[in-house]
Structure 1
Amino acid sequence: MTVLAHGVGQSQDLPLPLDLVLQAGAATVVVSFLVVAVWWKRPRLHLAEGPERPVRESPLRWLVLAVTLYLVGNALLGPRGPENPAGHALFVWLWVGLVPVSVVFGPVWRQVNPLRTLFRLLRLPAAGLRPLSAARSDFPARPESPVRPESPAGAESPAQPQSPAQPKLPAQLEVPARSELPARSELPARSELPARSAGRWPAAIALLAFVWLELVAPHRGEPVVVGGWLLGYGLVQLACAAVRGEEWFARGDCFEVYSELAGRLSPLRHRNPLAGVAHTAPGPGLAAFLAVWWGSTIFDSASGSPAWAAFLQRAGNPILYGTAGLILLCASVLVSVRVLSGRLDVTASLIPIAVGYTLAHYLSLLLVEAPRGVLLMVQQWGVAEGVEWNMAPTPGVIAAAQITLILIGHVLGVVVAHDMALTAAPERPPLATLADELPVVLLMIGYTWAGLFLLFVR
């Protein structure tokens, strides 16, 4: 199976010369920063966000589980040629299609995640056993009994409590009464603590494994390779969930975290999508995940250039250099986010940028290959035989849409970063806050240039 093409836009398809497009991108970031600096004097997004709508299970999870099992089995045992839809299912439907669906409807993968559904099914025959965290909370509370002082061996315990004349310990050394201690059911289960402290790091590592498969691994388009990776990924995730509990998927399944972050922009999930982005829990794990997400997409653009192909032809060993280049680029994005952003942790403001660049980079792939994958699957069932999907998007229209998506993502990122800066230091002078934001703006200008240049220069 040939590797799926990721874009049709080229520099000659741009509505303007490339240098003017790059200047327009930088000007858009700067102008949007100046506008919000003048008109956005106080934080607003923290007031615009009400309680999140609960994420409910969808009855579609059974259909998604059935389709997933079919596709994995078909990838391992079905046709070995390009008529097998396994590559389309993983690289187009899931990796690309999950972004626009989540932006519209919210974190849909949590509702239909086949790994969650399978995890619950596998726990049904366990003779009514429940996870450790649930079992601990069901123990009956011990009956209260007065605390008595220790007595020497063989001596009778005093019938009366200690005399009130006994010297009282200082307040900071007093032992709290049993009634003041938290109930056993209120204490976090031991198995849940590592998952909480790990944040999104497990999902970042899982995402790095996936993008390595997509961009570097040999024979990555062959159905057996796709099916084997999906099977191995599912087994690892289920094993970790068996140890950490079902909420492991919210931190360890890269596709669920991927959908959750893109769903922060959903108007159906949040009254104000920008408020949903601004209220994303910060931390190194979030920065690592976004670095892999955005950095891998940039690497995809860079690895498609003639310069990279010529380098690999001279140096040889494409797996080694491809792996090194992918890790180095993702690490560079992570360092730039954590260091160049200065004293502000505005990592969440990169979510609109990552979403915009992903949609721009894979736009033609989604339009061309997603319907073709559906057609390949139904043709295996004897439906629509002989039908072909040969849609050819207009390059100029695709290029204009790609530029628009990238610039919208950066403008939204600037607005979120400015509001987060005002929220983090409400008493700080306005000019000092703007000075803190300047490294962030310069970083976003660099991201804009890199995204536009690598997207259209091959």
Structure 2
Amino acid sequence: MTPSLAHGLNGSADLPIPLTYALVGAAWALTFSFAILLVAWRRPRLDPDAPGRLLPAPIRRLLDAAALRIVLAALGVAAAIVVGLILAFGSASPQRNPVPGVFYIYLWVGVMLASLLVGPVWKIVSPMRALHRFGCFVVRRDPEHGVFDYPSSWGCRPAVLGLFAFVWLELASPDPGSVAAVGWWLLGYAVVTLTGLALFGTVWAERADPFEVYSGLLARLSALGRRPSGELVLRAPLRNLAGTPVLPGSVALAATLLGSTAFDSLSALPGWRNLVDSWGGGTVFGTTLVRSAGLLAVVSIVGVVFTVAARATGGLTRAERAALPGLLAHSITPIIAGYIVAHYLTFLVEKGQSTLVLFADPFQRGWDIGGLAHFQVRYVLSEHPAVLATTKVLAVLTGHVLGVTAAHDKCLRVLPPRHRATGQLALMLTMVGYTFTGLYLLFGG
């Protein structure tokens, strides 16, 4: 059985949602936005330092146990070794090689959705971090420190470049499903990440590793948090989100993640495909150039519109207004999370099974590891389109409401009292626009 993968592997796209669902969701998004703005939320409530509820001591000890962390890190390294061996000795066809599926499904979607639930998964299982720690142990060096200090002016911009490189490979490159293309990308990622860790220490992973930064961003919406003392607690996700650090590149990070998902849906529309065929001239280079320009344009539009809307307020100095987009960038995270669920859930659940089947015989030796060759993919979501459509709309709507709430609470803290309503009106309308556009693309796709 071979997979038909939507993103990066030239398969069918996810099921579109019915227009009625899209219109109802858009109307509720608008209603919730102005209800939150004008009625329901009149004072700041989201304190990132709220104590939360302590997890039971046995659970805290288990989750923070060094032995557990070592085991998980070792599993991450083992998985990386398996992927490397399959890349080197497995089939060159993505229909027979599971690595592209691991890359696009398990890593890009599965790890990130897991981070929404249980916190920064990639930070714990990252093979790059584990190899760096082992190397530091061998040479007796503190992994926290590198040869140089990480420049604070870089912020998370290196991670933005890495994420854009990923979405370009997935959405604009000539052959995103190519085993060789995925392999070269992963090799480049490993070299850059290990070099960065050696030069700058673990701060490189925290701010420049695209997967760790993405995972950590979504982990801010997990109910799991930590007190300043380090103790694990259960805390309202929006309070965890309010503690998102403001770094140079935060707006570009959010725009890349949200804009690339929007472009993915846009690229499924017949009008865009016709445009690519017309402007691309029927050549690989021309088609790739048009897709690349389109991806960059959508990401830029998302970022520029948000920046302008966030700054559209009175009562502040020019410098204070310039700081607003960074202070409010965290409010896009729930919208990103909503689109991940709406856009990739079927991809993960169903195409993930197809990738699993390929592990039955990863080296084309006639094996049947674990009896996987006889596993039948269960299309548990595609066979229930009404449930799938409802899930999509609810995911987008929930992300919108949480995003508007996070932005509104921050505005109550940073805007002068006279401008707290009018000063965030442009931002609210922008976020409603993101939701309208996203629902339309999900409908049209």
Q: TM-score, normalised on structure 1?
A: 0.80
The reply to whether residue 74 of structure 1 matches residue 86 of structure 2 is yes
Gaps of at least 5 residues in structure 2 are: 55-59, 226-233, 281-285, 312-320
Partner of 2:308: 339
Partner of 1:22: 23
Q: In the alignment, which of 354, 358, 372 is matched to residue 376 of structure 1? A: 358
Structure of higher RCO (CA pairs closer than 8 Å, 6+ residues apart): 1
User: Are 2:29 and 2:435, in contact at CA under 8 Å, matched by a contact in 1?
Assistant: no
Partner of 1:191: 148
Q: In the alignment, which of 424, 429, 433 is matched to residue 420 of structure 2? A: 433
Partner of 2:316: none
Partner of 1:452: 439
Distance in 1, Cα, partners of 2:391 & 2:143: 48
Distance in 1, Cα, partners of 2:349 & 2:27: 28
Distance in 2, Cα, partners of 1:266 & 1:251: 19
Distance in 2, Cα, partners of 1:132 & 1:110: 14
Q: In the alignment, which of 272, 277, 296 is matched to residue 327 of structure 1? A: 296
User: Are 2:98 and 2:355, in contact at CA under 8 Å, matched by a contact in 1?
Assistant: yes
Distance in 2, Cα, partners of 1:66 & 1:51: 36
Partner of 1:244: 200
Counterpart AA for 2:207: R
Paired residue secondary structure (1:280): coil
Distance in 2, Cα, partners of 1:80 & 1:444: 43
Distance in 1, Cα, partners of 2:401 & 2:289: 37
Paired residue secondary structure (1:34): helix
Residue 219 of structure 1, CA deviation: 2.1
Change in CA separation of 1:260 and 1:313 when aligned onto 2, cut-off 3 Å: same
Q: In the alignment, which of 263, 277, 295 is matched to residue 241 of structure 2? A: 277
Paired residue secondary structure (1:97): helix
Distance in 2, Cα, partners of 1:80 & 1:22: 44
Paired residue secondary structure (1:388): coil
Q: In the alignment, which of 336, 355, 358 is matched to residue 337 of structure 2? A: 355
Distance in 1, Cα, partners of 2:79 & 2:156: 27
Percent of paired sites with the same residue:
35
C-alpha offsets along residues 82-121 of structure 1, whole Å, 9 cap, x if unaligned?
1211111010001111222011101111111111011122
Paired residues, number: 393
Partner of 1:99: 112
C-alpha offsets along residues 269-306 of structure 1, whole Å, 9 cap, x if unaligned?
35111011112122441111111111000111111111
Q: In the alignment, which of 155, 161, 171 is matched to residue 205 of structure 1? A: 161
C-alpha offsets along residues 420-448 of structure 1, whole Å, 9 cap, x if unaligned?
111224xx33x520111101111011101
Partner of 1:170: none
Partner of 1:150: none
User: Are 1:8 and 1:395, in contact at CA under 8 Å, matched by a contact in 2?
Assistant: no
Paired residue secondary structure (2:224): coil
User: Are 1:6 and 1:364, in contact at CA under 8 Å, matched by a contact in 2?
Assistant: no
Distance in 1, Cα, partners of 2:143 & 2:303: 36
Paired residue secondary structure (1:274): helix
Residue 129 of structure 1, CA deviation: 4.7
Distance in 2, Cα, partners of 1:105 & 1:131: 25
User: Are 1:101 and 1:108, in contact at CA under 8 Å, matched by a contact in 2?
Assistant: yes
Change in CA separation of 1:129 and 1:96 when aligned onto 2, cut-off 3 Å: closer
User: Are 1:65 and 1:117, in contact at CA under 8 Å, matched by a contact in 2?
Assistant: yes
Distance in 2, Cα, partners of 1:287 & 1:80: 38
Residue 242 of structure 1, CA deviation: 1.4
Partner of 2:349: 367
Distance in 1, Cα, partners of 2:143 & 2:101: 36
User: Are 1:6 and 1:365, in contact at CA under 8 Å, matched by a contact in 2?
Assistant: no
Change in CA separation of 1:103 and 1:424 when aligned onto 2, cut-off 3 Å: same
User: Are 1:33 and 1:415, in contact at CA under 8 Å, matched by a contact in 2?
Assistant: no
User: Are 2:393 and 2:439, in contact at CA under 8 Å, matched by a contact in 1?
Assistant: yes
Q: For residues 136-175 of structure 1, what are the structure 2 equivalents within 5 Å?
A: none
Counterpart AA for 2:347: L
More deviation, 372-381/95-104: 372-381
Distance in 1, Cα, partners of 2:138 & 2:241: 40
Over aligned residues, Cα RMSD in angstroms? 2.4
Distance in 1, Cα, partners of 2:125 & 2:118: 12
Residue 217 of structure 1, CA deviation: 1.4
Distance in 1, Cα, partners of 2:422 & 2:345: 36
More deviation, 2-11/331-340: 2-11
User: Are 1:363 and 1:398, in contact at CA under 8 Å, matched by a contact in 2?
Assistant: no
Distance in 2, Cα, partners of 1:130 & 1:364: 43
Change in CA separation of 1:412 and 1:124 when aligned onto 2, cut-off 3 Å: same
C-alpha offsets along residues 185-243 of structure 1, whole Å, 9 cap, x if unaligned?
xxxxx82241x331111101100001111111122212222122111111111112211
Residue 246 of structure 1, CA deviation: 2.2
The reply to whether residue 222 of structure 1 matches residue 198 of structure 2 is no
Greater Rg, structure 1 or structure 2? 1
User: Are 1:72 and 1:230, in contact at CA under 8 Å, matched by a contact in 2?
Assistant: no
Q: For residues 395-406 of structure 1, what are the structure 2 equivalents within 5 Å?
A: 395-406=385-396
Distance in 2, Cα, partners of 1:50 & 1:203: 31
Residue 377 of structure 1, CA deviation: 1.3
Change in CA separation of 1:51 and 1:93 when aligned onto 2, cut-off 3 Å: same
Residue 418 of structure 1, CA deviation: 1.1
User: Are 2:122 and 2:215, in contact at CA under 8 Å, matched by a contact in 1?
Assistant: yes
Counterpart AA for 2:39: V
Distance in 2, Cα, partners of 1:36 & 1:198: 34
Distance in 2, Cα, partners of 1:321 & 1:266: 37
Partner of 1:290: 254
Counterpart AA for 1:121: F
User: Are 2:143 and 2:202, in contact at CA under 8 Å, matched by a contact in 1?
Assistant: no
More deviation, 53-62/115-124: 53-62
Distance in 1, Cα, partners of 2:33 & 2:302: 23
Counterpart AA for 2:252: A
More deviation, 376-385/223-232: 376-385
C-alpha offsets along residues 162-198 of structure 1, whole Å, 9 cap, x if unaligned?
xxxxxxxxxxxxxxxxxxxxxxxxxxxx82241x331
Partner of 1:45: 46
Residue 10 of structure 1, CA deviation: 2.3
